[in-house]
Structure 1
């Protein structure tokens, strides 16, 4: 059974199974998770303000969208490198301290971005370099945070906990850009960075309140332990071991392939600007299309109570990915804006289901010694898939139009997912471990 946070009220108490309409909030009864989640609600607001602020600041400095486009490169490279490396570090050090250190790094870089905006010290390259460092800190923080959950919650509560996490993220992705965009009409961009910095202290505090979470009995604690892990235990060999481990587990391998298929083929965001003008007549169309997927995912999370207790998680992921593809494909066939938004929102809700169960699989199938590296691979896959889709959707839209490009992508998702499951039927047969089973048991590795 999972290791729980030391002796806090509510820890270790059995919780009754509940399957209502709304999201299962049972994990919030555990104080450690409740603090992390509540801090996440605060932090996601600030994070989305920075997401809006960086492109705005770069365009204000240069007047060029090409400079803004460089954020993709400066964000992707550190995300891949430090997502993988950070996962390896998380498997060699006290994860509590790693969360604190990486959280401080994120806060410091947000403050530095605010200083550059207010003082006008440095140019666009300065902004891009600080943004890259911040992304590296985020890439370490995210897999570590996910790897912590099985140590502070019972196994059977992980789907509900992941749903709560993803719902907050999607609500932030939906509302944050709207709030930030409006705010920039009245305040300086530097204020958004400083608000983000202040919000980040909530997550740093919540991480500090966690118990020590060493991976092994000999793991060294404190800041010195983090440095030692970086120097000794978390090198390229550990990253390679993580890939080898994922390849040996069909369930883990297909969980990654499912996301690559869903996002690499199906994410149509690159065509939204052109479709908004050519198909839907401009106006609010671009904003509605851009917010539809996140809005649907957030609503799906709020109404996710029926997901609790689903054992056949491989089946759930397969169906959810196919429904995502169907929603995207159908959205490309209509010239009616409200219908396209509705279909994309439905696709977003299906994607939330897939994300919840895939993340739960990573937390339960992987042993604790490999959990950080698996979450690191997960972060890289989640970030890389949409960027692959951006590339080919842009070319396809120029060649055959936005609608057909979107539909082709959606159909490819369905075909690709079915092909993957046929090639690896163990994924379709996968069932979640029952309550009381050791979370570190290599479930589904055959």
Structure 2
């Protein structure tokens, strides 16, 4: 039998297998709306992410005052993340997303008005930072809980990759755009642009279909939050994804010391490249994420990728050449993306709908508190033992912690999406729901 396929068809087919799977984008109008809303607001949010500390620095001249932004954001993140998860289970998810996005627009307007004053005040900047953290903490569980409802079960890995790609585009291009706007147009223009992006985002999400709570959902309460925590504790493979990520970010996130590392390498010009290297590595994974659909042992992938992240950060701390540092930071970003991608797939494919919001709140804490504490840890070790020591020792601690946690959590290592009882149960529930006749709309 002869092969009549055109020459070069095989390489093209292999290339397509690597590229992101766009099936969720084509199949779900609601996914397209959420994706576009997130893309638009991400660019605006990075403008404020850069402009806010710049304005505090200009008004106070204090590095401690700039660092206090993280402190005022941490408490709302913890409190509202847990309660926001309970709200996401008990209320219409579309409504939560719309109102929190509109709230962010109001906060951007407040920053704009303050910036236009003859003498801008400092205290509103901290108030807005805290309120914005609270709104994000309420919205994120609703977004995470909505995803399995608007995307088919077998398309969740592809949807996770596309969502990650959206964030990475913002992570690479957003800060660069923000720096230009703040430097040449001014703080007012940065806040005004952020306001416009939130308005556009609201127009996208307001068109989402209603997503009411499931019949089994509990009312928001401390008891409901505790129920979600007990479920997470009972699922040791899920617990493993949380603690692995916390360990990786606690010990090996070098963002706080990159300005000092650039100075030690005699390359202050490379600081922007250092900040962009981690999201750039993550973007490379997202752009070649077609292979992820063929991976089923997600727990092992999470552990291996987290260990590689630590190893890459160790190598970056030991390197004396700035280009090697950039290379290892990029490789670390790629490894961290792989870990994050498969953590998200495990969450979305195994957690029951009636608990999805509360578990999303716990997830929010796992990947947010770690970086907040990690900045403090890395900065403290740098002040004590030096910048380079803080980086390479943190990477080694990450590798050791990940290995120890893998030994203590065998269910994470043996997790297989094809046979795991929770994944099988959710797959069957989704199939039954898809096969059920539609319920006539009430007149």
TM-score (norm 2): 0.89
1:390 aligns with 2:388: no
Unaligned 5+ segments in structure 2 are 1-14, 430-443
Structure with max Cα Rg:
2
Match of 1:82 in 2: 80
After superposition, the C-alpha distances for 1:218-255 in whole angstroms (9 at most, x for unaligned) are 98xxxxxxxxx9xxx22222222221111111111111
Cα distance in structure 1, aligned partners of 2:107 and 2:116: 14
After superposition, the C-alpha distances for 1:161-218 in whole angstroms (9 at most, x for unaligned) are 1111112112212221111111112212122112112112333233222222112249
Unaligned 5+ segments in structure 1 are 1-17, 220-228
Cα distance in structure 2, aligned partners of 1:371 and 1:218: 12
Match of 2:299 in 1: 314
Match of 1:362 in 2: 347
Contact 2:181 2:189 in 1 (8 A): no
After superposition, the C-alpha distances for 1:344-363 in whole angstroms (9 at most, x for unaligned) are 10110111111111112112
Contact 2:310 2:332 in 1 (8 A): yes
Match of 1:412 in 2: 397
- Which consecutive segments of 4 or more residues in structure 1 shift more than 4 A? 433-438
CA gap 1:61/1:419 in 2 versus in 1, 3 angstroms: same
Match of 1:126 in 2: 124
Mapping for residues 240-279 of structure 1, pairs under 5 Å:
240-278=226-264
Cα distance in structure 1, aligned partners of 2:364 and 2:70: 15
Cα distance in structure 1, aligned partners of 2:16 and 2:236: 30
Cα distance in structure 1, aligned partners of 2:268 and 2:257: 16
Please state how far the C-alpha of 1:368 moved relative to its aligned partner: 0.8
Mapping for residues 156-171 of structure 1, pairs under 5 Å:
156-171=154-169
Please state how far the C-alpha of 1:330 moved relative to its aligned partner: 0.8
Match of 1:155 in 2: 153
Cα distance in structure 1, aligned partners of 2:222 and 2:102: 25
Contact 1:82 1:139 in 2 (8 A): yes
Match of 2:7 in 1: none
CA gap 1:235/1:317 in 2 versus in 1, 3 angstroms: same
Cα distance in structure 2, aligned partners of 1:173 and 1:22: 20
CA gap 1:191/1:140 in 2 versus in 1, 3 angstroms: same
Match of 1:8 in 2: none
Q: Which of 128, 135, 147 does residue 137 from structure 1 map onto?
A: 135
Contact 2:157 2:345 in 1 (8 A): yes
After superposition, the C-alpha distances for 1:53-81 in whole angstroms (9 at most, x for unaligned) are 11112122222222211111111111111
Q: Which of 214, 217, 222 does residue 216 from structure 1 map onto?
A: 214
Q: Which of 324, 327, 335 does residue 350 from structure 1 map onto?
A: 335
Greater Cα shift, 420-429 or 302-311: 302-311
- SS of the equivalent of 1:59 reads helix
Q: Which of 28, 53, 56 does residue 25 from structure 2 map onto?
A: 28
Match of 2:12 in 1: none
- SS of the equivalent of 1:193 reads helix
TM-score (norm 1): 0.88
Contact 1:110 1:134 in 2 (8 A): no
